[in-house]
Amino acid sequence: MKQQKLGFIGAGNMASSLIAGLLADGYNPEKIWVSDPELEKLDSLASRFGIHTSTNNHAIVENSQILVLAVKPQVMQEVSKDIAPTVSRCKPLIISLAAGISEAAIDRWLGGGNDVVRCMPNTPALVKTGATALHGNDNISAEQRSQAEAILRSVGLAVWVEREELLDAITALSGSGPAYFFLFMEAMEEAAMKLGLPSQTARLLTQQTALGAARLAIESEESPAELRKRVTSPGGTTEKAIAAFENGQLRAMVLEAMQAAKDRSLQLSRELGGE
Ligand SMILES: NC(=O)c1ccc[n+]([C@@H]2O[C@H](COP(=O)([O-])OP(=O)(O)OC[C@H]3O[C@@H](n4cnc5c(N)ncnc54)[C@H](OP(=O)(O)O)[C@@H]3O)[C@@H](O)[C@H]2O)c1
């Protein structure tokens, strides 16, 4: 897998995070190609990683057995239609990172009959703690599945979903999820300051508490509900705080927020996935 010719179209945040992750995993930089309209961005990636670059998307396709489409969803149709003749000739495995663009739309824009894996990554991929869900179309072989998974696993967790439509729920969970935790951290920081703590102390303790809770939840065999019960002694301080959250309908609010995110994901798919 580490010797497969791998191309990226779009040299933005996601592409550079994946390239950094792959190289840290021992991928051969000689096998990686990336394109972008901005020469400066390409020069910086070439000097940082020792990979090949080009401003010509067709040159990337020519040099790829696996092609990662890492442009914004809004330009995906235009980019795909432009490279379609070269893709039809070279037939690389297509991995799309674009939120809200269906496998069928990508395949159609690329001329049809392609092997397509669609991913929903998230921003913590930038610090190798990403959470990505993947789904592949019917053409995908077991080998291609493991190739796609290895690429996304280089920046964190990668899990497969059985049906493509589940990616809208994934968008509402892990795609948008980092922002929910940031909001909660923001609210905790503000509350801590109102309770009299200096801003720097409030920030540091909020951050470390979030990290500690996440790590404990990941490393423990217990469910989050069980871990919460363990730190909630009857008649204690945490019990009072949890009761205030429950009285404020926190769970209903989370459901409403995630439903809204999922609905918006579906709407964007309809808007972006047309001809
Ligand atoms: N970042 C995330 O956390 C995240 C999460 C989930 C999904 N995704 C998906 O990942 C994809 C990439 O996101 P990103 O955050 O990496 O975006 P980004 O930083 O904006 O990167 C996209 C890159 O593509 C370049 N580009 C634009 N038109 C191009 C063309 N015709 N040919 C080649 N390159 C072109 C852009 O250049 P210019 O800047 O000059 O336009 C930019 O450098 C998106 O589809 C997004 O939906 C990202």
List, for residues 6-19, the tens digit of each pLDDT value: 999 999 999 999 99
- Given a cut of 70, whether residue 101 has pLDDT beyond it is yes
In this structure, the residues whose C-beta lies within 6 A of any atom of ligand 1 are: 9-15, 35-38, 41, 57, 70-73, 75, 79, 97-99, 120-123, 175
Once rounded to an integer, what is the mean pLDDT over residues 244-271? 95
- Given a cut of 90, whether residue 103 has pLDDT beyond it is yes
| pLDDT in the model for residue 57 | 98
Q: Is residue 214 part of a domain?
A: yes
- Given a cut of 80, whether residue 92 has pLDDT beyond it is yes
Structural domain for 116, as ranges? 6-167
Q: Is residue 172 part of a domain?
A: no
Percent of the chain surpassing pLDDT 70: 99
Pocket test for ligand 1, best of 8, 9, 14, 68 (most atoms within 8 A of CB): 14
| Whether residues 20 and 38 fall in one domain | yes
| pLDDT in the model for residue 2 | 73
| Whether residues 114 and 246 fall in one domain | no
| Whether residues 76 and 38 fall in one domain | yes
Count CB-CB contacts under 10 A for residue 112: 10
- Given a cut of 70, whether residue 275 has pLDDT beyond it is no
Q: Are 76 and 94 in contact (CB under 8 A)?
A: no
| pLDDT in the model for residue 43 | 96
Kindly report the CATH number assigned to the domain that includes residue 233. 1.10.3730.10
- Strand, coil or helix: what is 133? strand
Mean pLDDT of the chain: 95
| Whether residues 163 and 181 fall in one domain | no
- Given a cut of 90, whether residue 140 has pLDDT beyond it is yes
| Whether residues 221 and 142 fall in one domain | no
126 Cα–ligand 1 center, Å = 13
With both helix axes pointing from N to C terminus, report the angle between 250-272 and 237-247 in degrees, rounded to the nearest 10. Answer: 50
Rounded to a whole number of angstroms, the CA Rg of the chain reads: 21
Q: Is residue 44 part of a domain?
A: yes
Kindly report the CATH number assigned to the domain that includes residue 23. 3.40.50.720
Q: Are 152 and 130 in contact (CB under 8 A)?
A: yes
Q: Is residue 1 part of a domain?
A: no
d(CA 41, CA 44): 5
| pLDDT in the model for residue 14 | 92
- Given a cut of 90, whether residue 273 has pLDDT beyond it is no
Q: Is residue 241 part of a domain?
A: yes
Number of domains in the chain: 2
What's the CA dihedral at 15, 20, 22, 23 to 10 degrees?
A: 140
| Whether residues 163 and 186 fall in one domain | no
Q: Supply angle C-alpha 171, 175, 180, rounded to 5.
A: 110
| Whether residues 135 and 23 fall in one domain | yes
pLDDT digit string, tens, across residues 66-90: 999 999 999 999 999 999 999 999 9
- Given a cut of 70, whether residue 274 has pLDDT beyond it is no
pLDDT digit string, tens, across residues 28-61: 999 999 999 999 999 999 999 999 999 999 999 9
10 Cα–ligand 1 center, Å = 6
| Whether residues 99 and 143 fall in one domain | yes
